[in-house]
Amino acid sequence: MTLFRHPSDRIPVLLFACVFALDLTVYFTSRSAWFPVLWLLLWVIPKGWICAWNHHHQHVPMFRHALPNRLLEVMLAFQTGVTSHAWFLHHVLGHHRNYLDQEKDEARWKRADGTTMGEMEFSIITTLVAYPRAFAVGRQHPRYLPVFLGMGALQVFLLGLLFWHDWYNALWVFLLPMCVSLFVTVWATYFHHVGLDTNEHTHASYNILHRGYNLMTGNLGYHTAHHVRHGLHWSQLPELHAQLAKDIPATHYRQPGIPFVWRNPEAKVEVAPVAGEVAG
């Protein structure tokens, strides 16, 4: 029996491991003051994509057994700034249950007075309160809190060892990228739902159909489908989206951000054909 729940997760996990191996190589071998800084800048966007896969893993764990999942989460945390079960608590048990209610949503885009936050305001606030909100959800679901706290403590311990060995490389290769990736994750979340004040799941998310974007993010652009069935594996989201497309307003599609928008910034937003229709 394979260790993986879904064979399609094998290549992504291999790529994450390769990126982590490169990070460790730079950390242990670089004696330059500028190269670790350049390394951070080079990997800002790719690690942002890895954040999407960490998100998928928290919805549908990639391995069948706990130990390989925990080991994967340690590696992903060093790449994304989101530790084991932090995303599960904040996002799966929090945001997905509450995103239609802006008074409860753990990633709420409304201020207390009901007005809409700006993207930087949302990104900064939500980043700063991400872990406190995850802990608050964990207190409501005590079954998962020990894993969240224990794995978080392990992550801090491992990061501390890296700083003890070489604080400069640890700062630029691990800690700052973790902080930046967490911020980028939150920033991207803003554009998934902002301004969509509704009680209908098919009207509550923006979708991105760009092939390159969905290849790099594991079909995260099929966001309505993801919220309708958040326990569905990422590889099955396009099929569900095709079934839901007739109920998704044409205004609920967006272009991807950097770097995909650079290729053709004037392109029109794609709208998926309704299931059963033949494209002309």
Q: How confident is the model at residue 277 (pLDDT cuts 50, 70, 90)?
A: very low
The pLDDT, as a whole number, for residue 264 is 55
- pLDDT tens-digit map of 129-188: 999 999 999 999 999 999 999 999 999 999 999 999 999 999 999 999 999 999 999 998
Tokens of 243: 């079934």
Task: Please tell me the pTM assigned to this model.
Answer: 0.90
**Domain boundaries along the sequence of the chain:** 7-197, 207-280
Q: How confident is the model at residue 263 (pLDDT cuts 50, 70, 90)?
A: low
The pLDDT, as a whole number, for residue 257 is 79
The answer to whether residue 267 scores a pLDDT higher than 90 is: no
The pLDDT, as a whole number, for residue 94 is 95
Alpha-carbon torsion, ordered 56, 265, 45, 34, to 10 deg: 180
